[in-house]
Amino acid sequence: MSNIIWIIVIGFVAGIVARFLSPGPNRANGFILTTGLGIAGAFVATFIGQTIGWYRLDQGAGLIGAIVGALLVLFVWNRLVAYRVVPDPGNPGPDAPPRRRL
């Protein structure tokens, strides 16, 4: 259980670092999305590292591995957004109603 919490914490930090390394607007929803993708990247790095034998089954990816995993997941996410497979959460599109300002 503590291994999963550690992966989430490292993934959060890796997502923040990846946010600064990857280009794009720095909005609040972009920050939340990037840290979520960073956590996913840490899980990907842990899975790949355990599969090829870099980590034991009770180990998670380190910070460098999690950053590389987060950048990999961010790259795939950006390609999916660029090819319009998934909608861009920061750009609602031309058919969306205008946003209300409070």
Token digits of residue 74: 């961010």
Listed in sequence order, the residues at least 6 apart from 60 whose beta carbon sits closer than 8 Å to its beta carbon are 3, 6, 7, 10, 42, 46
The DSSP-derived string for 50-66 is: HHHTSS-TT----HHHH
Write the single-letter amino acid at 86.
V
pLDDT at 42: 85
Q: What are the sequence ranges of the domains in the chain?
A: 2-82
pLDDT at 23: 65
| pLDDT single digits (tens) 33-73 | 777 888 888 888 888 888 998 888 777 777 888 888 888 88
* Residue 99 Cα distances to 20, 41, 94, angstroms: 27, 32, 12
pLDDT at 11: 81
